[in-house]
């Protein structure tokens, strides 16, 4: 099977720092190749992931343009998608596995019956892009998958009609976690914004008397110097300034900016508990899975993918009631780190994720073979 995997024009694969989708692609591809899938990767020129073939419209990632006004950057994705379309037109690709937000889904559908079948992975909150998702028609050749079951339940009906299942996210840490000792603090790892709820975590740290480390960017700003000169109109910056910063005293509650690579693993593995005070339906929860893999129990709000990933009382504690969250942080000591790691090794390894995608590829291929056969018998 020859698959064109479209990782988009924003960052190399693997990314050098932040990069959720590019990380997942970097985790998936080696396992697919081990399973005998030939991978053509659509990415940027400086991607270093070994693949069977690489195509790129740009020598390096265009991520720094992402925050600019639309009319300045709207050529980036089309230029990348044109390279993808031209490669598909060569006729030797069996299946397109697409990860490009909105435009990837549109391109796959617009290519029509001559193009290979396409699986588009929805990495996003599906309340986004109602103009596209609300009336989507994939013509029988384009299907979507979620990164959790919960995510798909919130999809518009037209998009849900194209869903062929979900595949949970995975992390290489589930196979080979570093060994680290525990310290007393709780951590929130993720982009700092209202949906991720760092303000609630910070208030609870003061109220219940536990140490809290916040790690992650505020909008595009990765450290205190960048944040000091930030655009105050940015909604994440406004959220930080109004709701989080007043609780960050550098002692009980600290912000350490974006932490990547082994430092991130060490920060998460050494924490006593990993907090997810969610106010949105977290679609896939990479950081939740990473936390388990590193033996750090998860405490959070029962919404989005969290209850699918975390078994209450065994690998973490969760509640629908924000007021109960502080109590749960104090009770998290009853969760065994080894149990969390065993769960990650069973459910969230790269091999498990790749087997999930291979199953979806095979289902999509048999689905489209049936459509072709039906079309042929209708013309005879």
Residues 6 or more apart in contact with residue 13 via CB below 8 angstroms: 7, 22, 25, 26, 29, 41, 43, 47, 48, 49
Stretch that binds ligand UDP, among 202-210, 231-239, 256-264, 358-366 (CB under 6 A): 256-264
Order of strands across the sheet that contains 95-98: 53-56, 38-43, 2-6, 95-98, 118-121, 142-146, 163-166
CA atoms of 20 and 25, how far apart (whole Å) = 9
Which residue(s) pair with 98 in the sheet? 6, 120
CB of 60 to ligand UDP, least distance (A): 20
Residues 6 or more apart in contact with residue 98 via CB below 8 angstroms: 6, 104, 105, 107, 108, 118, 119, 120, 121
Residues 202-241 that bind ligand UDP (CB under 6 A): 215-216
Asked if 76 is part of the footprint of ligand UDP (rule: CB under 6 A), the reply reads no
CB of 148 to ligand UDP, least distance (A): 10
Contact between residue 30 and residue 353 where contact means Cβ atoms under 8 Å apart: no
CB of 352 to ligand UDP, least distance (A): 17
Which residue, 4 or 294, has its beta carbon nearer to ligand UDP?
A: 294
Asked if 8 is part of the footprint of ligand UDP (rule: CB under 6 A), the reply reads no
Which residue, 117 or 285, has its beta carbon nearer to ligand UDP?
A: 285
CB of 222 to ligand UDP, least distance (A): 8
Which residue, 31 or 290, has its beta carbon nearer to ligand UDP?
A: 290
Q: What's the burial of 259, exposed, middle or buried (CB within 10 Å: 0-12/13-18/19+)? A: buried
Which residue, 345 or 365, has its beta carbon nearer to ligand UDP?
A: 345
Which residue, 7 or 189, has its beta carbon nearer to ligand UDP?
A: 189
213, 259, 273, 358: which one contacts ligand UDP (CB under 6 A)?
Answer: 259
Which residue, 118 or 287, has its beta carbon nearer to ligand UDP?
A: 287
Which residue(s) pair with 316 in the sheet? 298, 312
Angle at which helix 286-293 crosses helix 261-270, to 10 degrees, equals 70
Contact between residue 61 and residue 42 where contact means Cβ atoms under 8 Å apart: no
Residues 263-302 that bind ligand UDP (CB under 6 A): 264, 284-287, 290
Interface residues with ligand UDP (CB under 6 A) are 18, 20, 23, 189-191, 215-216, 258-260, 264, 284-287, 290
């Amino acid at each position: 099977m020859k698959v064109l995997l479209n990782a988009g024009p924003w960052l190399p694969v693997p990314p050098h720092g932040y990069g959720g989708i590019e990380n997942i692609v970097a985790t998936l591809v080696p396992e697919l190749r081990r399973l005998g899938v030939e991978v053509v990767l659509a990415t940027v020129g400086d991607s270093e992931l070994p693949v069977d073939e690489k195509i790129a419209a740009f020598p390096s990632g265009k991520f720094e343009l992402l925050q600019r006004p639309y009319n300045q950057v709207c050529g980036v994705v089309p230029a990348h998608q044109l390279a993808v379309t031209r490669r598909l037109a060569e006729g030797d690709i069996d299946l397109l596995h697409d990860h490009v937000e909105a435009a990837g889904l549109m391109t796959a559908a617009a290519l029509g019956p001559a193009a290979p079948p396409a699986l588009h992975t929805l990495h996003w909150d599906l309340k986004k892009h109602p103009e596209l998702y609300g009336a989507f028609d994939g013509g029988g050749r384009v299907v979507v998958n979620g990164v959790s079951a919960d995510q798909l339940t919130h999809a518009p009906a037209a998009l849900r009609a194209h869903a062929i299942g979900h595949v949970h996210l995975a992390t290489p840490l589930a196979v080979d976690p570093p060994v680290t000792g525990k310290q007393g603090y709780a951590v929130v790892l993720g982009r700092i914004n209202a949906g991720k709820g760092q303000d609630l975590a910070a208030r609870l740290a003061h109220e219940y008397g536990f140490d809290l480390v916040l790690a992650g960017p505020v909008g595009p700003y990765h450290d205190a110097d960048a944040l000091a000169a930030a655009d105050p109109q940015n909604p994440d910056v406004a959220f930080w300034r109004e709701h989080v910063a007043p609780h960050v005293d550098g002692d009980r509650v600290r912000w350490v900016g974006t932490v990547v690579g082994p430092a991130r693993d060490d920060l998460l593995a050494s924490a006593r508990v990993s907090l997810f005070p969610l106010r949105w339906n977290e679609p896939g929860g990479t950081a939740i899975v990473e936390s388990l893999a590193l033996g750090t129990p998860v405490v959070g709000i029962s919404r989005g993918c969290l209850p699918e990933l975390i078994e209450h009382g065994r690998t973490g504690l969760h509640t629908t009631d924000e007021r109960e969250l502080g109590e749960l942080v104090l009770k998290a000591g009853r969760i065994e780190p080894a149990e969390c790691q065993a769960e990650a090794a069973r459910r969230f390894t790269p091999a498990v994720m790749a087997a999930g995608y291979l199953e979806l590829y095979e289902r999509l291929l048999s689905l489209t073979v049936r459509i072709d056969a039906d079309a042929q018998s209708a013309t005879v």
